[in-house]
Amino acid sequence: MITYAATSDLLVTADKDSASADRQSRAEPRARVKMSQLRAATTAARFPGAPSDASPQEATNGLVVRPLRMLKVFRKPGGHAFAKMPPKQFGDTWLPVIDRQAGWVRVLLPSRPNGATGWLRKTGVELRTSPYLLRVHLGSRTIDINYEGDSIGTWPVAVGKPATPTPTGRTFLLGSVVDDDQSYSPVILPLGAHSDSLDTYGGGPGTVALHGWPDTSVFGSAVSHGCIRVPAEALDRLKQVPLGTLVIVDDK
């Protein structure tokens, strides 16, 4: 679990939308909700009524998006805006795409509850494809790093103990943080997932992360507060993985 001294401050080319979808979006009365009335979908936010991820163990084609500006987040294309997505959180905000419609992309959110999703207008985002997919297996307590469909390595990891388990489902690499106030990991990689047991941890919102650990005897054990502790070699590989990359956590 990430320990926070303080929550990080919210610090191109966009695809062209179809004219008809854009006109429909502008004509939708609910889309006129003021941006100032919406809460930012950050790791510290909670949206209990957000649409949930219906396929929490399904891999995607690797498409990820970056908001080019503050964008409204909708329950469905052309529907209700219930949040706003900032272009920066832990650096640039990159989100995995789990569904698409003409002029719209559905993304995983970095907010509670786990598996929360929302729709963004495609005109407001940059798109790219991550060649990576990360799989964390809680049963075998391993992490598998895949590149272009092939495994490039599997390592033992430490996962959440029974009282504070690592949550399962689809999430993603939200950021990369160097924290000089801690000594257990040269870099911390927060995910878009949160502990289901802890509302807060270390002054932060209970964000789950991938990070190193100096005591190598923990690898292969369930001993953490929900974070995934990885060996140094795995962490070096993970530092090369682009933000927004999909992470699938299962019970295998």
Evaluate the CA torsion angle 89, 87, 131, 133 in order and state its sign: positive
- Condensed to tens digits (0 to 9), the pLDDT of residues 60-78 reads 999 999 999 999 999 999 9
CATH number for domain 132-250, candidates 1.20.120.400, 2.40.440.10, 3.40.710.10, 1.10.287.110: 2.40.440.10
**Prediction pTM value:** 0.88
Dist CA 230 CA 234 (whole Å): 6
The partner residues of 177 in beta bridges, in order of sequence, read: 188
Q: Is 214 left (phi over 0), alpha (psi -120 to 50) or beta?
A: alpha
- Condensed to tens digits (0 to 9), the pLDDT of residues 154-174 reads 999 999 999 999 999 999 999
Kindly state the helix (H) or strand (E) to which residue 144 belongs, with its residue range: strand 142-147
Average pLDDT value for residue range 205-233 = 98
Dist CA 252 CA 249 (whole Å): 9
Is 89's pLDDT higher than 50?
Answer: yes
Average pLDDT value for residue range 124-150 = 98
Q: Which CATH superfamily is domain 19-126 in?
A: SH3 Domains (2.30.30.40)
Kindly state the helix (H) or strand (E) to which residue 248 belongs, with its residue range: strand 246-250
What is the torsion angle, in degrees rounded to the nearest 10, for the CA atoms of residue 97, residue 246, residue 173 and residue 79? 20
| pLDDT score, position 150 | 97
Structural tokens at position 192: 């878009």
How high does pLDDT run on average in the chain? 90
What are the start and end residues of each CATH 2.40.440.10 domain in the chain? 132-250
DSSP string covering 145-182: EEETTEEEEEEE-BEE-TTSPPPPEEEEB---B--TT-
